[in-house]
Amino acid sequence: MAMFRLQSSKVLAVDMTGDAVKAKNGSMVAYDGEMAFKKLSGGGEGIRGMVTRRLTGEQMTLMEVKGRGTCWFADRASEINLVSIQGDKLYVESSNLLATDGGLRTGTEFTGLRGASQGNGLFTTTVEGHGQAAIMSDGPAVVLRVSAQYPLTVDPGAYVAHQGNLRQSFQSGVTFRTLLGEGGGEAFQMRFEGDGLVYVQPSERNTIAGDV
C-alpha cells in the first residue's frame, strides 16, 4: 500500500512500491523513480459514477499514478490533511479531495439541501474502504468530535468533510453572520448528531443560499 506523508503542510508526498494512487488531475508537482500517469473519466466507480456526476454537477476529475518512487502533490497552496479510513465512509466536497489510496472506492451520495445551498449540486463525494485519503482546506483544518451528548452545528461555508456514524440534517434561519448583523436573506446551517468527526476550515467558501 502506498504511504502518505506530509512534506509540508501544503505538499503531500506519496511513497510507492508498485502501488497506485488516485489524485486530483493536475495536482502532481514532482516525482522521482518510475511513474505512469493515466487520466480517469469521472470520479465515481464505473459508468454509473460518471453519469451521476454529469447529472448532479458534482465534478471531480482524477488521474491514476502508479509506479515506484515518490510523487508529490499540491493544489493552489491549500493546506493538506491526512485522513485514515478503516472500513468506514468519508464524505467530502469534491473540490476538497486531493488524493486517495488506489484501493479506496470513490462515489457520490445524495445530501439534499446542503448541496443546493452551496451551489455544488445535490450530491457529495464519498470515499470508502481501508487506506488513506488527503483532503484540502483553506487554512489548517480543525477536526471536531461529535458525540451523543454534544451534537455539532456547522456553517456550510466552512464545512470540508465528515466521517463516522453521523446523522446529518439542515436548518434554515439565524446564522453566525446574521447574529453579527452581517447576514441577509435565507441561509442554512448543518447539524450533525451521533458519533464521528467533522472537518471544518477557518475560511468560508461562497454560497448561494444567503450569507452563511
Q: Examine the pLDDT at 68 and tell me if it is beyond 70.
A: yes
Burial per residue of 61-76, b for 16 or more beta-carbon CB atoms within 10 angstroms, e otherwise: ebbebbbeebbbbbbe
Using DSSP, state whether 167 is helix, strand or coil.
strand
| Cα–Cα distance, 103 to 52 (Å, whole number) | 21
Instruction: Please list, in sequence order, all residues whose beta carbon lies within 8 angstroms of the beta carbon of residue 122, skipping any fewer than 6 positions away.
Output: 56, 110, 111, 112, 115, 116
Average pLDDT over residues 4-10: 97
User: What is the average per-residue pLDDT within 118-122?
Assistant: 48
Ranges of each domain in the chain: 3-200
- In sequence order, the 6+-apart residues with CB closer than 8 A to the CB of 133 are 82, 83, 85, 90, 92, 97, 99, 100, 101, 104, 127
Spatial distance between the Cα atoms of 181 and 176, rounded to a whole number of angstroms: 9
Average pLDDT of the segment spanning 122-138: 91
Phi, psi of 211 (to 5 degrees): -85, 100
pLDDT at site 124: 82
Domain range 3-200, its CATH number among 3.30.930.10, 3.60.160.10, 3.20.20.70, 3.90.1200.10? 3.60.160.10
Across residues 117-131, what is the average pLDDT? 73
Please check the confidence at residue 99 and state whether its pLDDT lies above 60: yes
Residues 122 and 110: their CA atoms lie apart, in Å, by: 6
**Local structure of 46: helix, strand or coil:** helix
Check residue 176 and give its pLDDT: 54
Most confident stretch, 10-14, 116-120, 173-177, 201-205: 10-14
Question: Does the reported pTM lie above 0.75?
Answer: yes
In angstroms, rounded to a whole number, what is the distance separating the alpha carbons of residues 87 and 105? 11
